Amino acid sequence: MKTRNHNLLILAGIVTLSSCEKPKEVALPVAPANPLVAAVLAAPVGAAPISITAAHASAKPGDEVTLTGVVMGSDKPFVEGRAAFILGDPGVLTACNLTPGEECKTPWDVCCESREDILAATVTVQILSTEGRVLATELQGTDGLDNLAKLTVTGKVAESSAPEALIINATAIRVEK
């Protein structure tokens, strides 16, 4: 009996300690270090945004589009060392954290969706240098840009785009609060 009570006390202590979480650090928005990124984040977005799937159906290289979406579609939607990321259509794709019972550590990877749906409902958004190359700077964490952030993006469809692989050269990005 004494051993049983002792074991119950240890178990209660473990449960109590394991249920305590460290307070989460609140990340403050990081100001853009690159003036071109700052300009894109400060520029007004266009009117009447369309869905990403609608853009796949109608946008052609050179067209200016305004899209709404969520940063998702891969386990790492931000391209490391570059001003580029994947934007997904939340009307088609569901982040795993919105699926009841799903315990995914990277809900932005939309791993529950088919490869075909992910390709049809995502675009690559990039910010170009004055020479027309993707800027060599990180975007994640800059001014609210992060995984699962809701965004409105205005830009031109890149010449290298195809209907199944849409690329947007951003001229304006607004993080929706």
CA quadruple 41, 42, 43, 44: dihedral, nearest 10: 100
How does pLDDT run across 28-56, given as a tens digit for each residue? Answer: 456 667 899 999 999 999 989 999 999 99
Q: Is residue 116 a part of any domain in this protein?
A: yes
Does residue 19 belong to any structural domain of this protein?
no
Please indicate, yes or no, if residue 10 is contained in any of the structural domains: no
Q: pLDDT-derived band of residue 13, with 50, 70 and 90 as boundaries?
A: very low
Q: How many domains does the chain have?
A: 1
**Is residue 108, in this structure, part of any structural domain at all?**
yes
CATH of the domain at 91: 2.40.50
- Decide which of 39 and 8 is more confident: 39
Domain assignment present for residue 18? The answer is no
24 falls within a domain: no
Whether residue 13 is contained in a domain is answered as no
Mean model confidence pLDDT for the chain: 84
Q: Which of the pair, 107 or 29, is modelled with greater confidence? A: 107
How many CA atoms lie less than 13 Å away from 160 in the CB half-sphere? 10
Least confidently predicted of 11-15, 56-60, 122-126: 11-15
pLDDT digits (tens, 9 = 90+) for 73-82: 999 999 999 9
Residue 92 counted as domain residue: yes
Residue 95's domain comprises 29-175
Looking at residues 148-171, what average pLDDT do you find?
A: 95
